[in-house]
Amino acid sequence: MDVTILHPRLQLDEVAKTSAQAYHTAQPFPHIAIDDFFNPQRLEQLLAVFPGPNDIEWHQFRSATEQKLGSTHEAQLPLPIRQFLYQLNSSTFLRFLEQLTGIPNLIPDPHFVGGGMHQSVRGGQLAIHADFNKHPQWGLDRRLNLLVYLNKDWQDAWGGQLELWDRTMTTCQQKIAPRFNRMAIFSTTSTSYHGHPHPLASPEGVTRKSLALYYYSNGRPAQEHTARHSTLYRVLPTDGFIRRYVSPWVPPIAYALIDKARHAWTPKTPR
């Protein structure tokens, strides 16, 4: 691993040892957010080449549960970003993750399924969910998510915080702002509910940018076993009738039409 991607003052072994307990005891499920983990100059390089919403053929997620852009195609990943992601799939970095999380024999995904570059424009959101629990091609167990945020001067008022909810979907127990050079890592199970469910209120032209990597293992603890499933979306306690009781039973496109019609008939407040 090219250690120049790390902050000059950091040593992987030391960070893993000093952060492991905080990771394991975090609520509502094991996680950690580490600031200034990477060399800021390297991340500045990544930000400089990060494609805008119209610069490449992004995969567009547009549904009732998610509105974002994503790209996993190596040909579309700018070289500095591609090399950075390779480093986070390296043997050295895997050992760091194993020390930090206590999960042995982690396996990276060189195809970046579901990961790679993510970007949300104003109004973008991602409903609270638990991720698919098996790699779609290999059948391996998904164990870790890692996110690196590339948003300079991000303001809390814009939203976009990563929310971590308890397994009963009663309380959001942690919010992680998507600030520049912040790395978030968390264990993934069928009840590790997370997302940024509220539409972004960032100024026009200011997007929420992140890099995402997922790690797997061949098997997982018996207490975490569940049947194979795709992404499990959840509703918030504050969601209205349509979203809570209608959207889970209809296709996303049908829900989107219902939601659009509902808003069209909502009386406007006089100015």
Q: Tell me the per-residue pLDDT of 60-119, one tens digit each, with 9 for 90 and over.
A: 998 889 999 999 999 999 999 999 999 999 999 999 999 999 999 999 999 999 999 999
Q: Which residues of 133-153 are buried (b: 16+ CB within 10 A; e: fewer)?
A: bbbeeeebbbbbbbbbbbbee
Determine the Cα–Cα distance for residues 151 and 139; give it in Å rounded to an integer.
Answer: 34
pLDDT the model gives residue 252: 46
Contact assessment for residue 27 and residue 167, using Cβ atoms and an 8 Å cutoff = no
Q: How many CB atoms lie within 10 A of CB 265?
A: 6
Q: For the whole model, what pTM was predicted? A: 0.87
pLDDT the model gives residue 71: 96
Mean pLDDT across the chain? 90
Burial, 266: exposed, middle or buried (Cβ in 10 Å; 0-12, 13-18, 19+)?
exposed
Tally of helices (H runs) and strands (E runs) in the chain: 6, 13
pLDDT the model gives residue 10: 81
pLDDT the model gives residue 262: 42
Determine the Cα–Cα distance for residues 5 and 37; give it in Å rounded to an integer.
Answer: 9
pLDDT the model gives residue 6: 87
Sign of CA pseudo-dihedral 216, 84, 87, 43: negative
pLDDT the model gives residue 244: 52
pLDDT the model gives residue 64: 86
- Residue with token string 């494609």: 51
pLDDT the model gives residue 243: 54
**DSSP secondary structure code for residue 51 in this structure:** P
Can you read off the two tokens belonging to residue 162? Answer: 């990563």
Residues in the chain, pLDDT under 70: 3, 240-271
Strand partners, 215: 108, 144
Sign of CA pseudo-dihedral 254, 260, 265, 266: positive
φ, ψ at 244 (rounded to 5°): -80, -40
pLDDT the model gives residue 238: 83
CA distances from 125 to 118, 119, 131, 142, 208 (A): 12, 10, 16, 23, 10
pLDDT the model gives residue 247: 52
